[in-house]
Structure 1
């Protein structure tokens, strides 16, 4: 994205990533701070496998980032956190973004 104006492809990826109730809940949960996969799955009441699918989509769109950390007891823990973002969606934004669509 350049100067806060998303490209067409960026806007499509962002809107597609947020077009799921599960992914909206994941972003909302991570807005409160970073969390690791197992705890996040428990908090959201979904399986870790389903959560991983949604986290991968959110990470691919740039809405979340992840880091693998080792706990004190030597257990690998995959942490995710939301990346601050803001999109002002107007007809003009969509019009500008549409001129750079590659697909």
Structure 2
């Protein structure tokens, strides 16, 4: 996972972690890499929905996907967890908030 350099990076990371399915995906991939159908079955969700969650986790570099050829010759996309360590405290939030881009509402 890349270093968090801005408040916007932190918000994207926290957003990616804010969904129970994505949280569960991280827990599953912590044990071992899995291919898409395995993850969908374990989570009890459709593959299209799973892909949306996987994309969100890939965007913040918490997971990575790669193709492997199975013994039967079929290309399968596997996902695995990237190693990460998140440290967050009030000083880090204050520092990152200084360069946070916030859209102002039009009244």
> TM-score, normalized by length of structure 1?
0.88
Secondary structure of residue in 2 paired with 1:31: helix
Residue 96 of structure 1 and its aligned partner are, at CA, apart by 1.1
Query: Given the superposition, is the C-alpha separation of residues 87 and 6 from structure 1 closer, same or farther in structure 2, using an over 3 Å criterion?
Result: farther
**Stretches (4+) displaced over 6 A:** none
Residue 85 of structure 1 and its aligned partner are, at CA, apart by 1.1
CA offsets, 1:24-70, max 9 Å, x none?
01111111111100011111111111111100000011110010111
Residue 6 of structure 1 and its aligned partner are, at CA, apart by 4.2
Structure 2 segments unaligned to the other structure (5+ residues): 103-107
Alignment of 1:1-103 (within 5 A): 1-2=2-3, 6-103=5-102
CA offsets, 1:64-101, max 9 Å, x none?
00101111211110000111111121111111111232
Secondary structure of residue in 2 paired with 1:89: coil
Report the Cα distance in structure 2 between the residues aligned to 1:62 and 1:91, rounded to whole angstroms.
24
> TM-score, normalized by length of structure 2?
0.85
Report the Cα distance in structure 2 between the residues aligned to 1:7 and 1:31, rounded to whole angstroms.
26
Coordinate RMSD, CA, aligned: 1.5
Structure 1 segments unaligned to the other structure (5+ residues): none
Report the Cα distance in structure 2 between the residues aligned to 1:60 and 1:7, rounded to whole angstroms.
15
Report the Cα distance in structure 1 between the residues aligned to 2:44 and 2:5, rounded to whole angstroms.
33
